[in-house]
C-alpha cells in the first residue's frame, strides 16, 4: 500500500531509460527484505493493525505482564538440545522457551541469518537474538538495530548461539567491497552489544 524512494519511476526512466513500477522501486517487500528500512511487512490493513498491537506489547510495561506456559511443552534433553544440535530453524527452540510460545519477531524478512524479537519468559519481557544461518552484513545490521532498541527500552537480551552453523565469511576475499561492508556491519553489532545498558545472557550449544 505504501512506497518509499528518493526518485520515482518517471525520474528513473528519464535518467536510465529503465521502466520500473513504484512497488519494484520502493515497495513494502523491497524495504522489508532488501533495504531493511521497514521492520514489518503486512499484506493488508488487518495485518498492519495486528502488528501495531504487537509492537505495543513489546514496550515493556510491567503492569500488563502475564505469565503463560509455553504452548509447546519442551522436553529439554530431546527437544531443545536436539533442535540446537541440528540446522533446524531457531524459532523452534524459541517456541519451547517463551510464554505461550509467543514470539514477536523483528525484521523477519531482512538479515535472515539472525532471528531477533521480543517475548515473555515467566512474565518478564526479554529480547531474543538467535543465529539461524549465515551471519552476513544484513544480519549484523539487524542485530545492532535490535540490541539498541532493547537497550533503550530497558529490555534484557537473551542470546541463543548454535555453533554448528558455519560462518563462510572470508576477510581476505577478492570481493573487497563486500568484505568491508560485512566487517563494518559486524563492528556495529559488536559495539551495540558491548555498550548495551541492559543485562545480556548467552546460551550456547557447542557441537564438536
Specify the pairing of strand 200-205 against strand 157-162: parallel
Contacts of 151 (CB under 8 A, 6+ apart): 192, 195, 196, 197, 198
pTM of the model as a whole: 0.81
For helices 176-194 and 137-152, give the axis angle rounded to 10 degrees. Answer: 20
Over residues 108-133, the mean pLDDT reads: 93
- Measured between its terminal Cα atoms, the distance across the chain in Å is 48
What per-residue confidence (pLDDT) applies to 65?
Answer: 60
Most confident region among 11-25, 82-96, 161-175 by mean pLDDT:
11-25
Q: Residue 118 — very low, low, confident or very high, per pLDDT cuts 50/70/90?
A: very high
Q: Which residue has the cell 533442535?
A: 83
Q: Residue 81 — very low, low, confident or very high, per pLDDT cuts 50/70/90?
A: low
Over residues 126-151, the mean pLDDT reads: 94
61-205 to CATH, choices 3.40.50.720, 3.20.20.70, 2.60.40.290, 3.90.226.10: 3.90.226.10
Domain spans, the chain: 61-205
Amino acid at each position: 500500500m505504501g512506497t518509499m524512494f528518493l526518485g520515482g519511476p518517471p525520474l528513473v526512466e528519464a535518467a536510465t531509460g529503465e521502466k520500473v513500477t513504484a512497488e519494484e522501486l520502493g515497495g513494502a517487500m523491497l524495504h522489508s527484505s532488501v533495504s531493511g528500512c521497514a521492520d514489518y511487512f503486512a499484506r493488508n490493513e488487518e495485518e498492519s493493525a495486528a502488528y501495531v498491537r504487537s509492537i505495543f506489547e513489546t514496550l515493556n510495561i510491567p503492569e500488563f505482564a502475564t505469565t503463560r506456559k509455553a504452548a509447546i511443552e519442551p522436553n529439554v534433553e530431546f527437544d531443545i538440545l536436539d533442535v540446537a544440535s541440528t540446522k533446524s530453524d531457531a524459532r523452534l527452540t524459541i517456541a519451547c522457551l517463551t510464554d505461550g510460545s509467543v514470539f514477536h519477531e523483528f525484521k523477519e524478512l531482512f538479515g535472515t541469518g539472525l532471528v531477533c524479537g521480543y517475548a515473555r519468559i515467566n512474565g518478564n519481557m526479554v529480547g531474543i537474538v538467535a543465529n539461524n544461518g549465515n551471519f552476513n552484513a544484513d544480519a549484523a545490521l539487524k542485530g545492532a538495530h535490535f540490541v539498541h532498541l532493547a537497550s533503550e527500552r530497558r529490555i534484557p537480551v537473551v542470546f541463543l548461539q548454535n555453533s554448528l552453523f558455519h560462518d563462510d565469511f572470508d576477510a581476505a576475499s577478492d570481493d573487497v567491497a563486500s568484505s568491508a561492508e560485512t566487517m563494518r556491519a559486524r563492528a556495529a553489532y559488536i559495539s551495540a552489544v558491548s555498550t548495551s545498558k541492559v543485562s545480556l545472557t548467552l546460551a550456547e550449544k557447542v557441537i564438536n
